[in-house]
Structure 1
Amino acid sequence: MEFELQRFFIFLGIFTAILSLAYGYSLFRLSEPFRLNSWQQAVLLGSVVFFVLLTPTAYFFSLFYRETQWQKLWAYAAFTSLGFFTLLFSFVIFHDLSKLVWKGWVYISGYFSPGPSEFAQGNSSDMSRSDFLAQLTSLAVLGFTGGLTAFGFYQAHKKPSIKEVKIKVQGLPEGLEGFRIAQLSDIHIGPTIKGGFLQDVVERTNALNAHLVAITGDLVDGPVSLLKEHTLPLRNLLSEYGTYFVTGNHEYYSGALAWIRELESMGIQVLLNQNKLISHNGSRIAVAGVTDYKAHSVLPNHKTDPQKAAFGTEAADFKLLLAHQPNSVFEAAKAGFHLQLSGHTHGGQYFPGNLLIHIFQKFVAGLSRWEDTQLYVSRGTGYWGPPLRIGAPSEITLLVLEKA
């Protein structure tokens, strides 16, 4: 426990330092054209300090204290402002890089052109016009970021869409034709997502009449002692063959062993490099699950192992693997699984994440294939951190097996 707390405070310190640099750079660059006096600069500095401390303190309170109304409002303010400044920093960086490229082009073109350029000469009226345009640009960036934040907030708080995906399987037995799997992933119950949201998700999932429900990790962002009551709606999940769960990386930040016990007490089957064989209409389906791809960095005996999860499934007509991170698919293919269900990526969640995510993940969202294994990556049912979704809508997924 002491080691986990030490890691938490180290993370919080690094996180706060990064926020300080990003927030400070964004606001001071945008305020530069207005030539603020010393008093205005002091107010700006105070604003930076306030917004920087807002998020780590909200995160700290959400992990160590039971929720109150002011704490919930604080969390929403903190994480929404985090989303706003993430967008703002991205746009400021883009603006500054574009400006740098433009100045470089003007310099190079002037170097090869005879005589001084108009840009190089300039005059007082040009300079005042330049200042006005710079101020207008700063205001436009702030306004656009605010509007995009509001749009992303709305998108994140819409009900997750029901996304039906047909899984075409070569040689699928008749008994498994039309087998329905409901997938929930990355709900992230924590500072801003509570039991009311989960209750609605459970009701909409039950309406799908799935044969089984798969929860592919990152269910929670906090300890059992603080979030237990918000996960109780999971008891009401209905399906013919029950609910199966695999750990995500956030379970290991939140006390994985305690959460495993809690979920099992609700009747949810937690698969830790294990499988269960199901007979359906005379055919057999193996439902297997692995621990998170990076679980061993927290609990060494939880090292992910698709080969172990596949043990005893040789006679199954269809092999399904639940794995939080898509990167498990490389070993899943070697183990002979037909389909892997994953989450983790959130589809990038919002800009610039939905661009940068492709640098770190080969499989980001939707249905794809690696060798003989199909892989479906959910964009997630909830969200993490900033309550924003832009270009990566949340989903409850219904996967239906069909003969190819």
Structure 2
Amino acid sequence: MEFDLQRLVIFLSVFTVILFLGYSYAASRLSAPFELNTFQSVLLWCAVVFLVLLTPSAYILSLFYRETPWQKFWAYSAFTTLGFSTILVSFVVFRDLGNLVWKGSLFISDKLQASATQTEEGSGFSRRDFISRFSSFALLGMAGGLTAFGMYQAKKSPSVKRVSIKVKDLPEGLHGFKIAQLSDIHIGPTIKGGFLEEVVRKTNSLGADMVAVTGDLVDGTVGMLRDHVSPLKGLKSKHGTFFVTGNHEYYSGVLAWIRELEEMGIHVLLNQNKLLEHNGATIAVAGVTDYKAHTIIPGHRTDPKQASQGTENAHYKLLLAHQPNSVFEAAKAGFDLQLSGHTHGGQYFPGNVFIHLFQKFVAGLSEWEGTQLYVSRGTGYWGPPLRIGAPSEITVLVLEKHS
């Protein structure tokens, strides 16, 4: 089997249960002010069940069946609906939390509480009923508007982001060394070869000295996505393209993808490095397996120290690592710069709010114990075709001598 079927079943089962709980909560809270009859209630809960099953069914179809127009339509419908629904559920939760705070403040003030009670008495359709119904429509409208905006942001071509990496005592030969970073492209159910062709075209126009692809290239098997990934062969740079595995490669048949990428002429670094001679100076380009790879393939445990072996005489040491958390070991191994992705910068609301609870390094340039770290927001997207507050990027990092 090209991927772990047991893990897929467990993931989809847990995912479906979470969706049902979230969708059910939002549906019950939004419909509460309208006093639905039995027929309307049945229709509502049928719609909830349909929406819950829409996304896992689209994902399964993308794994096991060749792309067709109806499948593409199903996938876009499913993942767009997922994005809309997660935004809507978040709005409902935040509204209800706000109401709890408000009711708590009224409870503290007996006078206000009594006033509120008197206002509601003797009225068939109170002001409170109107506000509750208006609130439900308003949340639906806001979620719809954000979904439309997020789709536009996600589907447009990624912008080029230029980042200057200041390096003390950098050899003159490496001053101006240009790295193009692509990350988290997620070729799969809704991102196909046409998107990647445009990314390759833009990347080639940058005149980079090397290209780094920092994981999560695919969401699907080689058999399903080989043709859609083939535009990567067109990447051009002085020293070539380097790739490290992300967690989604391990969900998609990583060994087959490693072979496929190597056949395309891409350097896959599995706790390894390659020394590049550039204008009389040496830069070590190392790469580690995904931070959690050992949970799927024990022999793929990430190891920055092993990746650094043989780089002692390099003038500059670069590490490619999909997850930013690799930087803690990368600093101990003496790397000067780590390039990562994985976080998507949160991708869209509410992810870009809660991502900070789970990741110390979310996006942009930072430093940890002498090792600089750049975290890309990603070149594509995962799941819902949405980007809100976390634009996709093709990153150009330029090494510059800093006295």
TM-score band by shorter chain is over 0.9
AA partner of residue 165 (structure 1)? V
Q: Distance in 1 between matches of 2:124 and 2:312?
A: 77
Per-residue CA deviations over 1:276-319 (Å, capped at 9, x if unaligned) read 00111100000000000000000000000000000000000000
Tell me the equivalent position of 2:64.
64
Is the deviation greater in 100-109 or in 387-396? 100-109
Is the deviation greater in 116-125 or in 165-174? 116-125
Q: Distance in 2 between matches of 1:159 and 1:65?
A: 27
Tell me the equivalent position of 1:121.
118
Instruction: Return closer, same or farther for 1:116/1:144 CA change in 2, 3 Å cut-off.
Output: closer
Q: Distance in 1 between matches of 2:310 and 2:10?
A: 43
Per-residue CA deviations over 1:7-49 (Å, capped at 9, x if unaligned) read 2112111111111111111112101101111111111011101
| Residues 3 and 252 in structure 2, CA contact (< 8 A), matched pair in contact too | no
Cα shift at 1:125: 3.2
| Residues 154 and 387 in structure 2, CA contact (< 8 A), matched pair in contact too | yes
Tell me the equivalent position of 1:47.
47
Instruction: Return closer, same or farther for 1:10/1:116 CA change in 2, 3 Å cut-off.
Output: closer
AA partner of residue 163 (structure 1)? K
| Residues 20 and 48 in structure 2, CA contact (< 8 A), matched pair in contact too | yes
Q: Distance in 2 between matches of 1:198 and 1:158?
A: 12
AA partner of residue 383 (structure 1)? Y
Per-residue CA deviations over 1:84-138 (Å, capped at 9, x if unaligned) read 000000000001111111111101111xx5x972113332338522111110110
Tell me the equivalent position of 1:161.
159
Per-residue CA deviations over 1:209-255 (Å, capped at 9, x if unaligned) read 00000000000000000000000100100000000000000000000
Q: Distance in 2 between matches of 1:175 and 1:15?
A: 51
Q: Distance in 2 between matches of 1:269 and 1:284?
A: 18
| Residues 107 and 113 in structure 2, CA contact (< 8 A), matched pair in contact too | no
Tell me the equivalent position of 2:96.
96
Tell me the equivalent position of 1:37.
37
Tell me the equivalent position of 2:353.
355
Q: Distance in 2 between matches of 1:342 and 1:57?
A: 31
> Residue 167 of structure 1: SS of its match in structure 2?
strand
Q: Distance in 2 between matches of 1:260 and 1:29?
A: 47
Q: Distance in 2 between matches of 1:349 and 1:71?
A: 24
Cα shift at 1:64: 1.1
> Residue 285 of structure 1: SS of its match in structure 2?
strand
Instruction: Return closer, same or farther for 1:389/1:3 CA change in 2, 3 Å cut-off.
Output: closer
Q: Distance in 2 between matches of 1:2 and 1:62?
A: 14
> Residue 117 of structure 1: SS of its match in structure 2?
helix
Q: Percent identity?
A: 70
Q: Distance in 2 between matches of 1:359 and 1:377?
A: 16
Per-residue CA deviations over 1:31-85 (Å, capped at 9, x if unaligned) read 1101111111111011101111100000011111111110000000000000000
Q: Distance in 1 between matches of 2:100 and 2:113?
A: 20
Q: Distance in 1 between matches of 2:343 and 2:141?
A: 29
Tell me the equivalent position of 2:134.
136
AA partner of residue 38 (structure 1)? T
AA partner of residue 77 (structure 2)? A
Instruction: Return closer, same or farther for 1:3/1:280 CA change in 2, 3 Å cut-off.
Output: closer
Q: Distance in 2 between matches of 1:309 and 1:223?
A: 27
Q: After TM superposition, list the pairs within 5 Å mapping 1:173-188 onto structure 2.
A: 173-188=171-186
Stretches of structure 2 lacking an aligned partner (at least 5 in a row)? none
Tell me the equivalent position of 2:210.
212
| Residues 377 and 391 in structure 2, CA contact (< 8 A), matched pair in contact too | yes
TM-score when normalising by structure 1: 0.98
* Pairing partner for 1:152 from 131, 141, 150: 150
Tell me the equivalent position of 1:20.
20
Q: Distance in 1 between matches of 2:131 and 2:94?
A: 17
AA partner of residue 351 (structure 1)? F
| Residues 164 and 398 in structure 2, CA contact (< 8 A), matched pair in contact too | yes
Tell me the equivalent position of 2:242.
244
Tell me the equivalent position of 2:10.
10
Stretches of structure 1 lacking an aligned partner (at least 5 in a row)? none
Q: Distance in 2 between matches of 1:158 and 1:387?
A: 11
AA partner of residue 184 (structure 2)? D
* Pairing partner for 2:375 from 369, 374, 377: 377
| Residues 3 and 221 in structure 2, CA contact (< 8 A), matched pair in contact too | no
Q: After TM superposition, list the pairs within 5 Å mapping 1:283-294 onto structure 2.
A: 283-294=281-292
> Residue 366 of structure 2: SS of its match in structure 1?
strand
Q: Distance in 1 between matches of 2:202 and 2:331?
A: 32
Q: Distance in 2 between matches of 1:73 and 1:127?
A: 43
AA partner of residue 312 (structure 1)? G
AA partner of residue 117 (structure 1)? A
Tell me the equivalent position of 1:297.
295
Q: Distance in 2 between matches of 1:14 and 1:179?
A: 45
Q: Distance in 1 between matches of 2:249 and 2:2?
A: 18
> Residue 390 of structure 1: SS of its match in structure 2?
coil
Q: Distance in 2 between matches of 1:159 and 1:196?
A: 11
Instruction: Return closer, same or farther for 1:3/1:260 CA change in 2, 3 Å cut-off.
Output: closer
TM-score when normalising by structure 2: 0.98
> Residue 191 of structure 1: SS of its match in structure 2?
coil
Count of residue pairs the alignment pairs up: 401
1:388 equivalent in alignment to 2:348: no
